[in-house]
Structure 1
Amino acid sequence: MGAVPSVPTDRSQSLQVIGAGYPRTGTVSMTIALEKLLGGPVMHSGTHLFGGKDSYAKLWCEIMRNRNNKPVLMKLLREATAGFVGITDAPGIMFLPELLELYPDAKVVLITRDPDRWFESMAPVMKNAGINLWVLRTLLFPCPTWRWAPVFLPLFGEKEMERIGVKNGKEMMTRHNDHVRSVVPPPKLLTMELKEGWAPLAEFLDKPVPKEPFPRANDSVAVAAYAKRIFITASLVWVTILSGTGIVAWSARHLWRRQVAG
């Protein structure tokens, strides 16, 4: 979360790289880095899910709903990834085996991080995700794209229980990393930390090392700011709706009283 959604202009392009690092491991930084090296649009799944079009958020909910219906799932995944040269973050990377089947030539980059530091940064995200779904559904109902969050979040938890056996907790990243290593052939997998910079990534992708510093986006700040903006915007939308409803009701009552009096 925190990047600007890339927009594919050539839907015939195929995924070249899957940035398989779990959320809160620097996925925004990896997105920016891959866009630089690959010269094309990279989908940061969290950003595109909640910062893109309403129809695209709905599409990912359909992907999650059909996760155990492989023919439908593969069709929807191809539709969701068409035109992107790379993908990072969840929910996209939760379908790693399927993406590798769709794009057999794609390489995989797994960003690792100290588990304790990862959980420290992930805990606020888990807390926000744990808000009462009825409250969230009501609050976000009038907001395009965001209104799909209360639909998506339970599906996310179900998928993670099926995939790594846990939907919340400190061991999520470690289990995810083990899953990645179990499904990706070693020659197609690069495991690295962001602090290593451009060199291992550029070498793995057979690209020249950029002269500029490796991007380091602050995911924690971006997520917190984005969540705050969602709730403020949704609240203002409801204020507008309720105010408009009140004005209409007052006007109707006033007109009725004038007609009765006349």
Structure 2
Amino acid sequence: MEANVLTVIGAGFPRTGTSSMKAALERLGFGPCHHMFTIISDPSRVDRWLPLADGGQVDWEHVFDGFRSTQDWPASFFWKEQAEAYPDAKVVLTVRDPHAWYRSMQTLVSIGPGRELPEDLPETAAAVFGGMMRLSPVMDLITSSVFEGRRSLREGLPDEDEAVAVFERHLATVKESLPAERLLVFDVREGWEPLCRFLGVDAPAGEPFPHLNDAKTMRETLDRLITEGRLGSPFTRQE
């Protein structure tokens, strides 16, 4: 496999199994996988994304230097640009029940962007949340593009029917934009077989498919960061 060239592009919304997919792709040899946690754990990467907030362009090889695959926002919002920049890369569109997705996104917003932070954050926590604040122009662009009328996730999600319609339109757009042989529509509950068949690799014998970063783990990770200044990783515990 060639270094610094994306081979798998994630096109799914957050809370569609992107953490599980990150772990699975890395287990299959398509790592490292760029995920929002990549930016959280290394805020210096924020600057690579900022030109996009003003409609500018970025050097995707610089943005994804050292990575072989992507999942989660902000990367998955720009799936189309990446698919054009890396024409040989395959695209995985992660899906789940849209109403379950909506509930999970509500949890994400409440414990992340919508959370009130104490003034005396530990140094590590201050660096992480400072990085997220610097990334906010990009995330606000994504939010306003996906959820029309919302300037930021800090404002919360639209009502469930509207959000589900947005989710379903996104799925339709991705499906219509790519040839079938280049796209896998994938629910992580399907396990290794369809993913490995699509990527042309063998499934790990006797290993369950990863199921990571449930709402409880996500909350515990952020609580520990805020109270103890320890970031840890949401990718080390299964549901």
Using the size of structure 2 for normalisation, the TM-score is 0.78
Highest Rg: 1 or 2?
A: 1
Tell me the alpha carbon deviations over residues 66-107 of structure 1, each in whole angstroms, 9 at most, x when there is no partner.
4x12xxx232x3211122111111110111111112211110
Give 1:223-262 correspondences, 5 Å limit: 223-233=218-228
Q: 6, 28, 38: which one pairs with 1:48?
A: 38
Counterpart position of 1:189: 183
What is the aligned partner in structure 2 of residue 244 from structure 1? Answer: none
After superposition, residues 83-98 of structure 1 pair within 5 angstroms as: 83-98=66-81
Question: Given the alignment of the two structures, is residue 25 of structure 1 paired with residue 16 of structure 2, yes or no?
Answer: yes
Tell me which residue corresponds to 1:173.
167
- Following superposition, the deviation at residue 29 of structure 1 comes to 0.8
Q: Contact 2:48–2:58 (CA<8 Å) still a contact in 1?
A: no
Contact 2:8 2:30 in 1 (8 A): no
- Aligned AA (2:53): R
Contact 1:164-1:176 within 8 A present in 2 as well: no
- Cα deviations by residue, 1:119-140 (Å, 9 ceiling, x for unpaired): 12221212234537xx659666
| Corresponding residue for residue 58 of structure 2 | 74
Match of 1:259 in 2: none
Give the C-alpha shift of residue 159 in structure 1.
2.4
Q: Flag the structure with higher helix content.
A: 1
Give the Å deviation of 1:39. Answer: 4.9
Question: Which residue of the other structure, out of 48, 60, 68, is the alignment partner of 1:59?
Answer: 48
Instruction: Mark the runs of 5 or more structure 2 residues left unpaired by the alignment.
Output: 151-156, 230-239
What's the offset of the Cα at 1:218?
A: 3.5
Partner of 1:248: none
CA pair 130-163 structure 1, distance change in 2 beyond 3 A? closer
Is 1:13–1:84's contact at 8 Å kept on the other side of the alignment?
yes
Among candidates 89, 108, 113, match of residue 125 of structure 1: 108
In structure 1, the gaps of 5 or more residues are 1-9, 235-262
State how far apart, in whole Å, the 2-side matches of 1:40 and 1:96 are: 17
Percent of aligned pairs sharing the same letter: 31
In the TM superposition, what is the alpha-carbon distance from 1:190 to its structure 2 partner?
0.6
Distance in 2, Cα, partners of 1:147 & 1:36: 31
One-letter code of the match for 1:43?
H
CA RMSD of aligned residues (A): 2.7
